[in-house]
């Protein structure tokens, strides 16, 4: 073992120093999110505001699914299951949490979580409710990640279509179990009287979990979407991400080159499920309710379609596909009953005309790079 | 005991329907190695066609037959106008397109397929008139059910044929994920076009009773109904017919060969495209039969075409195919019955609200313990 | 100095077929040994046994005193034995550079949190990986094709990229599975030099499967000959060339079995 270390790479580890450069991206995302919320939201009106939030949530889901389906090449079609799970957990956290803390399930957030505030700077940016909301989303993400771990385990034994079917089955099981949960407790006194553990099974059953305070705004969707993109991007640019990609390309060779394929596959599922759970939290707090019945496998297919349409493993492709596929049905609203038919036909035609997706396996900037290199010489190193 | 027998009977009769649908999934998977997600919509189409033809033939509540349902007009117009149009396109525009855009431009229009489809559609229309005639005559009236079944099977067979030629065939060499997404696209297309006003509409309907549903016998307190007996009998008969077709005919052997190794089969002189088309027709027809039998048994369950309940039914049938060993015809039959029994016993003896969980838990267990299914063969990757 | 790689009496059977029986070889640090035999003799199976793709039914494999039986392929690679594949298994959609960088992954330390936050020397580590990969690619004459997709490389380049990739794992023992297959005479000559070169530069111990006798006889110090899963001869190239059993296995006799199982 000693000899192995001597042969390992030279490292320069100033242990756990977070360079300011690493935080810059986060600051930029935060700034964009605040600016969009402060100035673009009031300018565009409610309808466009909603569409933009939808886009943000779908980016979270599509990009996280890219990590499993696109990077690692594992075929998951149960992504909506994680979304549902995270959404319920987040919704229950804010609803019951608000009831317990402030004796009613209402909005206790700051202006960043308000879709109605005239000016963002008219009051406090964040309130106690926001903390609860974010905690709920993170908790939802963690629970979903736990489920992702469980779903990832079969990927060690199963490949391709069989794995796909298992993920689909898991998604359906999550849905049915949530739909079979007990009725939502709505009286504050009852909630206070109950054991908190009992509340975890009081998730509304077939009616769904309702009366969730609305916190999701453009600020949050951009922030979460941005973080998802950042994580996916950094993953792809790193050794770990390349290890995931190698599994997609050739599992046997990856294993032979020292990639812990089993661990990496489960890891991909866990990361993806975490963000899907967070996305579910955003979704629940945008609508003010969440119903597992509406988030079946057809919803999962939506995300798979985004990943494939964007090009397998292309973050920019998945993002663009998420935008296009969210906006497209909105544009088709004018033809009401033909909307989904046109959508379906476009999907079929797209698969016939451009089977590799928008960007293929590459990123948008990788397609541009050869051009810039030709223009400015080959000075830049990869 | 009564409860047990009742559950057993329900399980078998629904299970045989799952088996019929599962056969379509399993045959397509066996040959093309992809999950045909549009298959459950063919089943729905079968159910709605049965209803629609029954109305057209004169089985309305008010007694007056619908002279011509709009879907009939639609089919005729589409086939008679689109057919020649496609033919002209194929002869004129397609070669030019292919030379400029490369080989991906569909070959789907090739051959006499337009003519085949048109003839097929007209025969079906003829059968609709036959159904009206049998309905009108007192002595042949009980036979109407058979005619309707044939129309549903033929109609869905045509739909399966068209879908395969137009959407799947051009993707033969594409990644499987693309084919899967195309299948989802077709599924969405079928669901939502079925909802159109001039087709089936957005309202749930009630299937007229084609035969009086009286109990034939009572065993240990359980009534054995005529519909159940005829339904299960039809399903079993169809499965026997398929079994014979696949294992004892030339065409069946060709199907087996293609499913074993497509490339070698084509080298051996088998017309692979024809076999694949035939597989789709066969699978779709069986799904249509399942749709017909389903609405016969549960007349009130004719939900709107895009209802998610349909997809769930299809999904369970698919689970049946996987549990039995996907690609394996006998496995699909076995799996169907198994799933049906499991579901009904779960509902009767465990918690009914978890009815879908049992099926999916079984699926996961089977896949983990025996990924190739009950009757499937395991495959090993060569390094 | 004792043996670096000891393989003692390993064997495996598939169903009833004994693919490899009683295979044994001992290699000291710096050895370059050839493994030859007719098609279907079980050479690649030996590689698969050594690298953990298959688990031997019997026998012991040990590397530097550490037992490798029962380890997963990635653990064996980490222990210092790396390989190439007969039917090239590159990561086709990825760039040439990434193919090599992936093989560096097992020597990295950054976990998920470090990757996401880019903290704890992760950036430095990435740079070290890239430099290392560029160096290797330069040695293999692929330095100017780093951005190309691996699948677009000419055949000979793909073979050499596979070796570069295997080297990126810092192996002590390198298993090469028909590195010269599909190469033209000129490329083969260059390959011989390359193998000698990297052996010296990286202090490698090499086990080589090859059909091209020119290459094998030229560079290998010792040769093991396999037929029907069994060792039929062992010795220096000169000895092997004269060995009647080897000649018979290659040329066959009048009553030699005509069909061999793959």
* C73-89: average pLDDT: 92
Return d(Cα A250, Cα C89) in angstroms, integer: 7
C73 close to B (CB below 8 A): no
* Separation in Å, CA of A301 to nearest CA in chain B: 8
A192 close to B (CB below 8 A): no
B322 close to A (CB below 8 A): yes
A26 close to C (CB below 8 A): no
A260 and C74 within 8 Å at the Cβ level: the answer is yes
Q: How many Å is the Cα radius of gyration of chain C? A: 19
Among the ranges given (B188-202, C172-186, C205-219, C225-239), the one the predictor scored with the smallest mean pLDDT: B188-202
Return d(Cα C2, Cα C63) in angstroms, integer: 11
Q: Label residue B325 left, alpha or beta by phi (over 0 means left) and psi (-120 to 50 means alpha).
A: left
Chain segment B130-186, per-residue pLDDT in tens: 887 777 777 777 788 888 888 889 889 988 988 888 888 888 877 777 888 888 889
Nearest-CA residue of chain B relative to C88? B383
For all residues of chain A together, what is the average pLDDT? Answer: 84
Given a cut of 50, is residue C254 above it in pLDDT?
no
* A268-288: average pLDDT: 95
Alpha helices (H) in chain B, listed in sequence order: 2-32, 39-57, 70-77, 83-101, 113-136, 144-163, 176-194, 226-248, 250-260, 262-267, 272-297, 308-324, 329-349, 355-369
Find out whether B331 and B325 touch, Cβ atoms under 8 Å. Answer: yes
Return d(Cα A57, Cα B320) in angstroms, integer: 34
Measured between beta carbons, which residues in chain A are less than 8 angstroms from residue C92? 249-250
Find out whether B37 and B182 touch, Cβ atoms under 8 Å. Answer: no
C169 close to B (CB below 8 A): no
Find out whether B321 and B22 touch, Cβ atoms under 8 Å. Answer: yes
Is residue A7 one of the residues assigned to a domain?
no
B354 and A154 within 8 Å at the Cβ level: the answer is no
Q: What share of chain C is helix, strand, coil (3-state, %, to 5)?
A: 40, 25, 35
Return d(Cα A182, Cα A198) in angstroms, integer: 10
Neighbours of A100 (CB within 10 A): 15
Chain segment C28-62, per-residue pLDDT in tens: 988 999 999 888 888 899 999 999 999 988 889 99
The pLDDT of residue B69 is 64
User: Which residue ranges does chain C devote to CATH 3.40.50.300?
Assistant: 1-80+172-176+214-262
Measured between beta carbons, which residues in chain C are less than 8 angstroms from residue B381? none
A25 close to C (CB below 8 A): no
* Separation in Å, CA of A311 to nearest CA in chain B: 11
Structure tokens at A38: 């402060």
Which of A115-124, A281-290, C241-250: highest mean pLDDT?
A: A281-290
Of A12, A231, A361, the CB nearest to C93: A361
Return d(Cα B277, Cα C66) in angstroms, integer: 58
Between CA A234 and CA A238, with CA A237 as vertex, the angle to 5 degrees is 85
Structure tokens at B151: 């129309």
Given a cut of 60, is residue C233 above it in pLDDT?
yes
Among C residues 135-154, those touching chain A with beta carbons less than 8 Å apart: 146-147
Given a cut of 90, is residue A294 above it in pLDDT?
no
Neighbours of B70 (CB within 10 A): 15
- Residue of C98 and A382 predicted with greater confidence: C98
C73 and A19 within 8 Å at the Cβ level: the answer is no
Q: Return the exposure string of B161-178: e unless at least 16 CB atoms fall within 10 Å of the residue's CB, then b.
A: bbbbbbbbbbbeebebbb
Chain segment A246-259, per-residue pLDDT in tens: 999 999 999 999 99
* Separation in Å, CA of A248 to nearest CA in chain C: 8
A379 close to C (CB below 8 A): no
For residue A222, the enclosing domain spans 21-296
Between CA B52 and CA B64, with CA B58 as vertex, the angle to 5 degrees is 115
The pLDDT of residue C258 is 37
A153 close to C (CB below 8 A): no
C117 close to A (CB below 8 A): yes
Among B residues 80-109, those touching chain A with beta carbons less than 8 Å apart: 104, 106
ipTM confidence score: 0.88
C106 close to B (CB below 8 A): no
Given a cut of 70, is residue B94 above it in pLDDT?
no
The pLDDT of residue A379 is 43
Chains that touch C (3 or more CB pairs under 8 A): A, B
Which of A152-161, A199-208, A331-340, C203-212: highest mean pLDDT?
A: C203-212
Return d(Cα A77, Cα A298) in angstroms, integer: 9
What residue segments make up the domains of chain B, in order of their start?
2-369
Q: How distant, in Å, are the alpha carbons of C96, C134, C135, C157 from that of C130?
A: 12, 6, 9, 19
* Residue A253 per-residue DSSP state: H
Return d(Cα A347, Cα A345) in angstroms, integer: 5
Of A11, A235, A239, the CB nearest to C105: A239
The pLDDT of residue C93 is 87
Find out whether C205 and C6 touch, Cβ atoms under 8 Å. Answer: no
C134 close to B (CB below 8 A): no
Find out whether C132 and C202 touch, Cβ atoms under 8 Å. Answer: no
> Which residue out of C48, C105, C202 would a mutagenesis test of the A interface target, given it has the greatest number of A Cβ atoms within 10 Å?
C105
Burial category of C49 from C-beta neighbours within 10 Å (exposed 0-12, middle 13-18, buried 19 and up) = buried
Q: How distant, in Å, are the alpha carbons of C24, C42, C233 from that of C230?
A: 10, 8, 9
The pLDDT of residue B255 is 86
Nearest-CA residue of chain C relative to B381? C53
C213 close to B (CB below 8 A): no
Task: Choose which CATH entry (3.40.50.300, 1.10.10.10, 3.90.220.20, 3.10.129.10) describes domain C1-80+172-176+214-262.
Answer: 3.40.50.300
A257 and C77 within 8 Å at the Cβ level: the answer is yes
C69 close to A (CB below 8 A): no
* Separation in Å, CA of C149 to nearest CA in chain A: 10
Return d(Cα A319, Cα A297) in angstroms, integer: 21
C159 close to A (CB below 8 A): no
The pLDDT of residue B133 is 77
Among C residues 203-262, those touching chain A with beta carbons less than 8 Å apart: none
Nearest-CA residue of chain B relative to C54? B383
Structure tokens at B180: 């899967």
Structure tokens at B267: 């080298």
Instruction: Please count the structural domains in chain A.
Output: 1
Find out whether B383 and C53 touch, Cβ atoms under 8 Å. Answer: yes
Alpha helices (H) in B195-271, listed in sequence order: 226-248, 250-260, 262-267
A234 close to C (CB below 8 A): yes
What CATH number has the domain spanning B2-369?
A: 1.10.3470
Return d(Cα C11, Cα A371) in angstroms, integer: 55
Residue C171, CB-side half-sphere exposure with 13 Å CA sphere: 31
* Separation in Å, CA of B214 to nearest CA in chain A: 35
Given a cut of 90, is residue A52 above it in pLDDT?
yes
* Separation in Å, CA of A52 to nearest CA in chain C: 26
pLDDT-based confidence at residue A276 (cuts at 50, 70, 90): very high
A360 close to B (CB below 8 A): no
* B237-249: average pLDDT: 87
Find out whether A96 and A191 touch, Cβ atoms under 8 Å. Answer: yes
Is residue A59 one of the residues assigned to a domain?
yes
* Separation in Å, CA of C38 to nearest CA in chain A: 25
Return d(Cα B24, Cα B42) in angstroms, integer: 10
Chain segment A54-78, per-residue pLDDT in tens: 999 999 999 999 999 989 988 888 8
Cα-flanking dihedrals φ and ψ of residue C34, to 5°? Answer: -100, 145
- Residue of C9 and A374 predicted with greater confidence: C9
- Residue of B266 and B22 predicted with greater confidence: B22
Chain segment A89-98, per-residue pLDDT in tens: 999 999 998 8
Measured between beta carbons, which residues in chain A are less than 8 angstroms from residue C83? 256
A9 and C146 within 8 Å at the Cβ level: the answer is no
* A362-374: average pLDDT: 68
């Amino acid at each position: 073992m000693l000899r192995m270390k001597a042969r390992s790479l030279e490292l320069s580890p100033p242990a756990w120093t977070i360079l300011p450069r690493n935080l810059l991206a986060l600051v930029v995302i935060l700034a964009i999110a605040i600016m969009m919320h402060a100035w673009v939201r009031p300018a565009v009106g409610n309808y466009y505001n909603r569409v933009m939030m939808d886009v943000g949530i779908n980016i979270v889901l599509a990009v996280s699914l890219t990590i499993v389906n696109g990077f690692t090449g594992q075929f998951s079609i149960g992504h909506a299951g994680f979304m549902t799970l995270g959404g319920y957990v987040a919704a229950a956290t804010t609803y019951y949490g608000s009831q317990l803390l402030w004796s009613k399930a209402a909005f206790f957030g700051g202006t960043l979580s308000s879709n109605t505030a005239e000016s963002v700077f008219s009051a406090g940016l964040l309130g106690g409710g926001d903390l609860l909301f974010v905690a709920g989303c993170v908790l939802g993400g963690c629970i979903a990640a736990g489920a992702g771990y469980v779903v990832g385990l079969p990927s060690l034994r199963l490949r391709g279509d069989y794995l796909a079917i298992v993920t689909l089955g898991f998604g359906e099981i999550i849905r049915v179990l949530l739909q079979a949960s007990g009725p939502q407790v709505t009286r504050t006194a009852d909630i206070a009287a109950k054991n908190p553990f009992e509340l975890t099974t009081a998730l509304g059953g077939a009616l769904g979990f309702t009366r969730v305070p609305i916190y999701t705004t453009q600020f949050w969707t951009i922030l979460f979407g941005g973080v998802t993109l950042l994580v996916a991007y950094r993953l792809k640019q790193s050794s770990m991400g390349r290890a995931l990609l190698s599994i997609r390309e050739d599992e046997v060779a990856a294993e032979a080159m020292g990639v812990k394929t089993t661990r990496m596959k489960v890891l991909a599922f866990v990361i993806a499920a975490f963000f899907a759970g967070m996305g579910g939290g955003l979704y629940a707090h945008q609508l003010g309710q969440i119903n597992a019945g509406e988030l079946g496998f057809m919803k999962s297919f939506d995300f798979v379609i985004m990943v494939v349409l964007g090009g397998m493993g292309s973050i920019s492709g998945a993002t663009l596909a998420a935008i296009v596929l969210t906006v497209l049905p909105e544009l088709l609203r004018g033809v009401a009953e033909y909307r989904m038919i046109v959508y379906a036909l476009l999907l079929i035609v797209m698969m016939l005309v451009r089977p590799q997706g928008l960007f293929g396996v590459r990123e948008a900037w990788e397609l541009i790079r050869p051009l810039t290199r030709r223009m400015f010489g080959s000075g830049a190193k990869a | 005991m009564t409860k047990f027998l009742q559950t057993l009977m329900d399980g078998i009769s629904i299970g045989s329907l799952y088996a019929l649908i599962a056969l379509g999934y399993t045959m397509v998977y066996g040959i093309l190695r992809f999950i045909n997600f549009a298959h459950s919509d063919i089943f729905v189409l079968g159910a709605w066609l049965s209803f629609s033809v029954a109305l057209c033939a004169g089985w309305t509540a008010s007694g007056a037959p619908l002279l011509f349902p709009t879907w009939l007009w639609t089919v005729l117009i589409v086939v008679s106008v689109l057919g020649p149009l496609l033919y002209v396109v194929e002869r004129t525009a397609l070669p030019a397109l292919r030379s400029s855009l490369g080989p991906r431009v569909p070959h789907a229009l090739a051959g006499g397929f337009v003519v085949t489809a048109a003839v097929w559609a007209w025969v079906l229309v003829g059968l609709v008139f036959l159904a009206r005639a049998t309905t009108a005559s007192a002595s042949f009236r009980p036979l109407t059910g058979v005619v309707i079944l044939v129309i549903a099977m033929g109609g869905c067979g045509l739909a399966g044929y068209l879908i395969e030629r137009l959407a799947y065939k051009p993707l033969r060499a594409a990644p499987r994920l693309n084919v899967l997404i195309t299948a989802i696209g077709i599924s969405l297309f079928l669901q939502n076009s079925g909802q159109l006003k001039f087709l089936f509409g957005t309202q749930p309907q009630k299937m007229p009773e084609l035969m009086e549903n009286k109990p034939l016998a009572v065993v240990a307190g359980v009534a054995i109904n005529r519909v159940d007996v005829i339904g299960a009998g039809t399903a079993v008969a169809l499965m026997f017919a398929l079994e014979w077709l696949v294992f004892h005919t030339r065409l069946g052997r060709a199907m087996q060969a293609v499913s074993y190794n497509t490339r070698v089969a084509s080298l051996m002189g088998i017309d692979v495209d024809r076999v694949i088309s035939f597989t789709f027709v066969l699978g779709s027809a069986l799904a249509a039969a399942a749709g017909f039998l389903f609405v016969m048994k549960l007349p009130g369950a004719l939900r709107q075409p895009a209802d998610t309940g349909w997809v769930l039914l299809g999904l369970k049938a698919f689970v049946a195919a996987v549990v039995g060993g996907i690609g394996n015809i006998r496995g699909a039959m076995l799996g169907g019955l198994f799933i049906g029994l499991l579901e009904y016993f779960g509902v009767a003896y465990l918690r009914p609200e978890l009815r879908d969980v049992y099926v999916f838990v079984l699926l996961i267990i089977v896949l983990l313990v025996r990924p190739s299914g009950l009757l499937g063969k395991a495959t090993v990757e060569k390094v | 100095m004792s043996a670096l790689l000891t393989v003692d009496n390993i064997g495996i059977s598939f169903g009833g077929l004994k693919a490899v029986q009683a295979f044994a070889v001992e290699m000291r640090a710096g050895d370059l040994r050839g493994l030859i035999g007719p098609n279907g003799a079980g050479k690649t199976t030996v590689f698969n046994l050594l690298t953990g793709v298959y688990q031997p039914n019997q026998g012991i494999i040990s590397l530097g005193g550490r037992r490798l039986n029962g380890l997963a392929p990635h653990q064996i690679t980490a222990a210092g034995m790396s390989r190439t594949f007969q039917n090239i298994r590159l990561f086709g959609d990825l760039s040439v550079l990434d193919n090599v960088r992936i093989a560096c992954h097992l020597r990295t330390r950054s976990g998920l949190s470090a990757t996401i936050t880019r903290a704890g020397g992760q950036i430095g580590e990435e740079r070290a990986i890239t430099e290392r990969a560029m160096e290797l690619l330069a040695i293999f004459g692929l330095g100017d094709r780093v951005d190309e997709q691996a699948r677009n490389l000419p055949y000979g380049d793909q073979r050499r990229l596979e070796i570069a990739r295997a080297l990126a794992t810092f192996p002590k023992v390198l298993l090469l599975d028909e590195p010269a297959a599909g190469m033209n005479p000129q490329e083969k000559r260059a390959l011989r030099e390359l193998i000698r070169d990297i052996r010296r530069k990286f202090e490698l111990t090499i086990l080589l499967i090859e059909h091209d006798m020119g290459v094998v006889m030229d560079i290998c110090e010792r040769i093991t000959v396999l037929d029907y899963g069994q060792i039929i001869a062992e010795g220096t190239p000169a000895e092997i060339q004269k060995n009647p059993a080897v000649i018979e296995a290659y040329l066959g006799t009048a009553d030699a079995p005509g069909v061999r199982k793959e």
